[in-house]
Amino acid sequence: MQPALALQDVVVAFGALRAVGGVSLTVPKGQRRAIIGPNGAGKTTLFHAISGVVQPTSGKVIFEDADITALPPHRRARRGMGRTFQITNLFPTLTVRQNLFLALRGVSPGKFNLFGHARPTAEEQQRSAAALSLARLEGREDIAVANLSYGEQRQVELALAIANQPRLLLLDEPAAGLSPSERAMVAEVIRALPREITVILIEHDMDLVLGLVDHVTCLHEGMVLVEAPPEGIRGNAAVQEVYLGRPRH
């Protein structure tokens, strides 16, 4: 079967530093894949190469059999690639629902003009309602984002990413900085996503991630260290050594 995503020997160099040092991987359609690894392993940079935020120095990014290596981020989004960001990019004074409608029209902070937009169409309303339901935000639609808890704001970011109905969803540490109960909620939202959406998830917390995904890629110093199902990651000596910073004896 045609994979959702294939990376062929992707290198991203910042001057002398190879943040991504030649990564090849294939993610089948519908798979939930975690990218784990210690800080600085190159996880976010790899995501940026997939989403088009950075151009690989060399190598190829193949999305559903199309070479998209040269495409800018908005063209990848239009092809069905969705993502959230580590930094919050919501309109704080607008309601949850208004943020959804703007995201559905591809409006981002900085390009925003509330008066330049017509009323939401029936389809936009339906997509927005479906995304809010998936993100467990029912009943919170008319609250300004600034008045939500931090955990709920992360749920809104997930709703925004889901609303455009991506076939591939990239989530960079969606539970970072959350309390245990908020983390559990985010995990629940990801677990309940439609199975046909391919999900690639960067997550630092192995306990959270290993219960959520089908397959795991562990990066270390910009390279794939181990690729295995969750059972092969738990207790893997190489992963423990780099990921948990276990000292050598």
Ligand X SMILES: Nc1ncnc2c1ncn2[C@@H]1O[C@H](COP(=O)(O)OP(=O)(O)O)[C@@H](O)[C@H]1O
Site of interaction with Mg ion (CB under 5 A): 43-44
Q: What minimum distance in Å lies between the beta carbon of 89 and ligand X? A: 17
Task: Supply angle C-alpha 37, 42, 43, rounded to 5.
Answer: 60
Q: What minimum distance in Å lies between the beta carbon of 232 and ligand X? A: 21
Strand partners, 95: 144
The verdict on 50 binding ligand X (CB under 6 A) reads no
Q: Where are the beta strands (DSSP E) in the chain?
A: 3-14, 17-28, 32-36, 58-63, 66-67, 81-83, 168-172, 198-202, 215-220, 223-228
Question: Is the Cβ of residue 19 or residue 242 nearer to ligand X in the bound state?
Answer: 19
The verdict on 45 binding ligand X (CB under 6 A) reads yes
> What is the residue whose two structure tokens read 């919501």?
90
> What is the residue whose two structure tokens read 């955990």?
151
Question: Is the Cβ of residue 2 or residue 39 nearer to ligand X in the bound state?
Answer: 39
Among 6, 27, 33, 37, binds ligand X (CB under 6 A): 37
Question: Is the Cβ of residue 44 or residue 98 nearer to ligand X in the bound state?
Answer: 44
Q: Going edge to edge, which strands form the sheet with 66-67?
A: 17-28, 3-14, 58-63, 66-67
Tell me the window of 39-47, 57-65, 133-141, 232-240 that interacts with ligand X (CB under 6 A).
39-47
Tokens matching residue 31: 């798979």
Q: What minimum distance in Å lies between the beta carbon of 44 and Mg ion? A: 3
Site residues (vs ligand X, CB under 6 A): 14, 17, 19, 37, 39-45
